[in-house]
Chain A
Amino acid sequence: MASPEIEALTQALARLPGLGPRSARRAVLHLLKKREVALAPLLRALDAVNDKLAICSTCGNVDTTDPCSICADTRRDPRLLCVVEEVSDLWALDRSRLFPGHFHVLGGRLSALEGIRPEDLSIDKLIARVAVGGIDEVVLAMNATLEGQTTAHYLAERLETYPVRITQLAHGLPVGGELDYLDEGTLAQALRARRPVV
């Protein structure tokens, strides 16, 4: 039987995504056994993040500085702006290091069922960023879901009065995908977006 403090730690960890009570207990046991090499650095890291945690007032990214490290990076191309639904999407795109521009996090997507309206998202901030000028292209990197695409169409309409190129991520065959395992919706998108080889 663990002490109340250890039990509280287990319960706190069990609430994290990807962890259940059993895996949380294993993590706690590991932290206790490797106190110096696992628990102490984890505590220091958590403390540091907790002290410095900030939401970037420019793009909505989560970082320890405001503006965030991406917005403050002068090597990035300020003429390119990629709009994403969530911070996790920003991190996924930035991990690939394929997009050299800046980002804007909406904080969700329009949803009729969840009652999420344009004013609930960071859309006015996005329009204000584009209105200031200096942006040539806005990439709408929404999820390929009905709600994601509805949001992308709404943003495209709001942005069409500004002198910027509005583009969207391609939809179709995933890398490593085999045709006979794909659903017909994805296949139809891939066929629509086909392009000449030579």
Chain B
Amino acid sequence: MHLSTSAIVLSLRSHGEHGAIARLLTPEAGMQAGYVRGGRSRRLKPVLIPGNIVQAEYRARTEEQLAQLSVELIASRAPLFSEALPAAAIDWAAALSATALPEGQPYPRLYDALDGLLAAIEAAPSAKGWAAALVRYELLVLAELGFGLDLTECAATGRRDGLVFVSPKSGRAVSGEGAGEYRDRLLPLPAFLTGGEADWDGIFDGLRLTGHFLSRDVLIDRQSEALAARDRLIDRLKRVVC
């Protein structure tokens, strides 16, 4: 195996005295793990920070072997860590990707979406500029892993307009008319996911929607521990809005 590519750092785990195992999201080869010699050194620690873009070079004799990984920094997101909300958002986005995605499966759309989300977190003057992108990223993670929501037509009536709910069981959109007596049991579908503008109420509805399906279908058993970072992020967002 020889892979040379740009990649987004997702996680770093210590291995031995000085080395580390890094998980990176690559555009064409999906999430790839590699052993970084001296990965905990003063020189490489600032490079292997979640959210950073690096030039990665994987080398292994066979596909099954854990590859030796060397990295060079392209863009650092470390300056964002001094702000509470961007730090929490990067923490969650990287943890979600590292926890949910299987290794070695290509997800080029997820790479582009995560790259775009991180760029939005970096560039947006306030959280409102990236919170909707975070909801869309979570929806895309669900979709790419086979748990996509169908938000195109009403599960009850087949109508393509007036969609305001999502069934927590099937993940399909439901119109106000089709909801009938079940409306209290349905999840609200924010307007920005069907072409409208994003406001804070809609963003929180979106986070509730994706949170339900992430915890039910993707982050189960031990993986559910990662959701604590998401809860802290949402608490922070709510405090900002208040």
A residues lining the B interface (CB < 8 Å) = 17-18, 110, 112-115, 117, 144-147, 149-150, 153-154, 156-157, 171, 174, 183-186, 188-189, 192
- Which of A17, A146, A184, A192 contacts B91 (CB under 8 A)? A146
Nearest neighbor of A149 in chain B, beta-carbon distance: B81
Per DSSP, chain B at the interface is helix
Q: A149-B87, A154-B232, A183-B46 are known contacts. Are A113 and B95 too (CB-CB below 8 A)?
A: yes
Q: Is B67 part of the contact surface with A, judged by Cβ < 8 Å?
A: no
Q: A112-B228, A154-B232, A189-B79 are known contacts. Are A147 and B91 too (CB-CB below 8 A)?
A: yes
Q: How far is the CA of A188 from the CA of B52 in the complex (A)?
A: 14
- 5 of the cross-chain contacts (CB-CB < 8 Å) are A112-B228, A115-B225, A146-B50, A149-B81, A183-B47
Could you say which residues of chain A place their CB within 8 Å of the CB of B99?
Answer: 112-113
B residues lining the A interface (CB < 8 Å) = 11, 13, 17, 42, 45-47, 49-52, 73, 75-79, 81-82, 84, 87-88, 90-92, 94-95, 98-99, 222, 225-226, 228-230, 232, 236, 239
- Which of B11, B73, B236 contacts A157 (CB under 8 A)? B236
Q: Which of B45, B81, B229 lies at the interface centre, i.e. has the most chain A CB atoms within 10 A of its CB? A: B81
Could you say which residues of chain B place their CB within 8 Å of the CB of A157?
Answer: 84, 236, 239
Could you say which residues of chain B place their CB within 8 Å of the CB of A192?
Answer: 79, 82
On whether the beta carbons of B79 and A153 are closer than 8 Å, the reply is no
Q: How far is the CA of A136 from the CA of B94 in the complex (A)?
A: 36
Q: How far is the CA of A74 from the CA of B57 in the complex (A)?
A: 55
Q: How far is the CA of A185 from the CA of B47 in the complex (A)?
A: 8
- Which of B42, B77, B84, B229 contacts A185 (CB under 8 A)? B77
Could you say which residues of chain B place their CB within 8 Å of the CB of A183?
Answer: 46-47, 73, 76, 78
**Least Cβ–Cβ distance between A147 and chain B, in angstroms:** 7
Could you say which residues of chain A place their CB within 8 Å of the CB of B49?
Answer: 145-146, 185
Q: How far is the CA of A157 from the CA of B240 in the complex (A)?
A: 12
A-B interface, 7 closest residue pairs, ranked by CB to CB distance from nearest: A115-B225, A185-B78, A185-B76, A112-B229, A112-B95, A153-B84, A188-B79
Could you say which residues of chain A place their CB within 8 Å of the CB of B94?
Answer: 146
Q: A112-B228, A183-B76 are known contacts. Are A146 and B46 too (CB-CB below 8 A)?
A: no
On whether the beta carbons of B73 and A184 are closer than 8 Å, the reply is yes
On whether the beta carbons of A186 and B236 are closer than 8 Å, the reply is no
Q: How far is the CA of A153 from the CA of B13 in the complex (A)?
A: 22
Q: A145-B49, A146-B91 are known contacts. Are A186 and B78 too (CB-CB below 8 A)?
A: yes
On whether the beta carbons of A146 and B17 are closer than 8 Å, the reply is no
Nearest neighbor of B95 in chain A, beta-carbon distance: A112
**Least Cβ–Cβ distance between B118 and chain A, in angstroms:** 12
Could you say which residues of chain B place their CB within 8 Å of the CB of A145?
Answer: 45, 49
**Least Cβ–Cβ distance between A73 and chain B, in angstroms:** 32
On whether the beta carbons of B75 and A184 are closer than 8 Å, the reply is yes
**Least Cβ–Cβ distance between A159 and chain B, in angstroms:** 13
Nearest neighbor of B23 in chain A, beta-carbon distance: A113
Could you say which residues of chain A place their CB within 8 Å of the CB of B222?
Answer: 115
Q: How far is the CA of A110 from the CA of B90 in the complex (A)?
A: 14
Nearest neighbor of B51 in chain A, beta-carbon distance: A146
On whether the beta carbons of A171 and B82 are closer than 8 Å, the reply is yes
Nearest neighbor of A184 in chain B, beta-carbon distance: B76
Could you say which residues of chain A place their CB within 8 Å of the CB of B81?
Answer: 144, 146, 149-150
Q: How far is the CA of A74 from the CA of B75 in the complex (A)?
A: 48
Nearest neighbor of B83 in chain A, beta-carbon distance: A153
Q: How far is the CA of A90 from the CA of B228 in the complex (A)?
A: 27
Nearest neighbor of B10 in chain A, beta-carbon distance: A113
On whether the beta carbons of B79 and A185 are closer than 8 Å, the reply is yes
On whether the beta carbons of A156 and B84 are closer than 8 Å, the reply is yes
* Sample of 6 further A-B pairs with CB below 8 A, known A183-B46, A183-B78, A185-B46: A112-B228, A113-B95, A144-B78, A146-B94, A188-B76, A188-B79
Q: How far is the CA of A31 from the CA of B73 in the complex (A)?
A: 46
Q: How far is the CA of A149 from the CA of B84 in the complex (A)?
A: 8
